[in-house]
């Protein structure tokens, strides 16, 4: 009988693994060399690149420092602006207060001149000032009346005061409203009179007329003066050429 014998091929030794590693390393080194050669051929300069990178980093640091400086300067300027704004507001308020005080002093001076001025002596009883302001209650207005007489007049002025508010009612018709309380005056030189007037629902005022009716003995001539109704509460002064009427 014929016998067939199969022999196994001897296993390779470790040298082939070393060879493969060496081949791979050679390929990597060759590839890196080709890469560097390509960059060199393309004009790449590692030294120049490093210098450029260092310059860019320096510029970046300088820009960051400048940015911090500008932010600090901006904050200081903002603080200065706020301080100046507050100071300007205080100065403006003081100036406004001084202007108001000066206006009040001028009004007071004109008020007392109206009492003591000799050229006014022939006019006798006068409606010096009329002021009307909105009350906290709905449709109610407060008024203040200042009456004067020149110092050369002797005796005491007595009589009654009538305040009449003219306007349009809710139906669009002309109408008049008078205060509920009865007002009187009794003074020698000047007197402040205060009162209230309540307007009906839907009533639109346009003018207020003040009438002084002297009482007792002596001159019975009435003094009448009209004032435009304010759009907003404020002091009003009558127009002597238009609103005042005697007789």
pLDDT digits over 45-65, tens only? 667 777 888 888 888 888 888
**pLDDT given for residue 166 in this prediction:** 92
Cβ neighbours of residue 187 closer than 8 Å, sequence gap 6 or more: 147, 149, 156, 157
Residues paired with 212 in a beta bridge = 161, 223
User: What is the pTM assigned to this prediction?
Assistant: 0.49
Tell me the pLDDT band of 157, cut-offs 50, 70 and 90: confident
Beta strand 157-168 with 140-148 is unpaired
**pLDDT given for residue 170 in this prediction:** 84
Q: What would be the CATH architecture of the domain defined by 121-246?
A: Sandwich (2.60)
- Lowest-pLDDT range of 102-106, 147-151, 166-170: 147-151
Cβ neighbours of residue 179 closer than 8 Å, sequence gap 6 or more: 163, 195, 196, 197
Domain ranges, ordered by start, for the chain: 121-246
Alpha helical stretches, state H, 42-168? 46-116
- Lowest-pLDDT range of 38-42, 123-127, 190-194, 203-207: 38-42
Name the residue with higher pLDDT: 247 or 105: 105
Mean pLDDT of the chain: 76
Q: To which H or E segment does residue 166 belong? A: strand 157-168
Cβ neighbours of residue 214 closer than 8 Å, sequence gap 6 or more: 125, 157, 158, 159, 220, 221, 222
Tell me the pLDDT band of 246, cut-offs 50, 70 and 90: very low
User: Is residue 87 pLDDT above 80, yes or no?
Assistant: yes
């Amino acid at each position: 009988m014929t016998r067939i014998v199969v022999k196994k091929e001897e296993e390779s030794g470790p040298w082939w693994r070393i060879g493969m590693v060496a081949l791979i390393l050679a390929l990597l080194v060759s590839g890196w060399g080709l890469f560097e050669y390509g960059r060199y051929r393309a004009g790449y300069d590692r030294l120049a690149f490093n210098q450029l990178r260092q310059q860019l980093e320096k510029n970046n640091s300088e820009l960051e420092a400048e940015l911090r400086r500008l932010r600090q300067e901006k904050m200081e300027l903002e603080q200065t602006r706020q301080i100046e704004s507050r100071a300007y507001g205080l100065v403006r308020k003081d100036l406004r207060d001084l202007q108001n005080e000066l206006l009040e002093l001028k009004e007071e001076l004109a008020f007392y001149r109206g009492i003591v001025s000799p050229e006014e002596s022939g006019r006798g009883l006068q409606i010096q000032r009329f002021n009307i302001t909105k009350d906290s209650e709905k449709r109610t207005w407060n008024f203040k009346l200042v009456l004067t007489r020149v110092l050369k007049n002797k005796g005491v002025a007595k009589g009654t005061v009538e305040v009449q508010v003219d306007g349009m009612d809710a139906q669009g018709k002309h109408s008049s409203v008078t205060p509920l309380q009865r007002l009187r005056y009794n003074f020698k030189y000047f007197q402040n009179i205060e009162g209230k007037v309540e307007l009906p629902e839907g009533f639109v005022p346009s003018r207020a007329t003040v009438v002084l009716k002297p009482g007792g003995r002596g001159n019975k001539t009435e003094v009448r003066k009209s004032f435009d109704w304010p759009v907003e509460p404020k002091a009003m002064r009558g127009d002597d050429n238009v609103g005042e009427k005697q007789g």
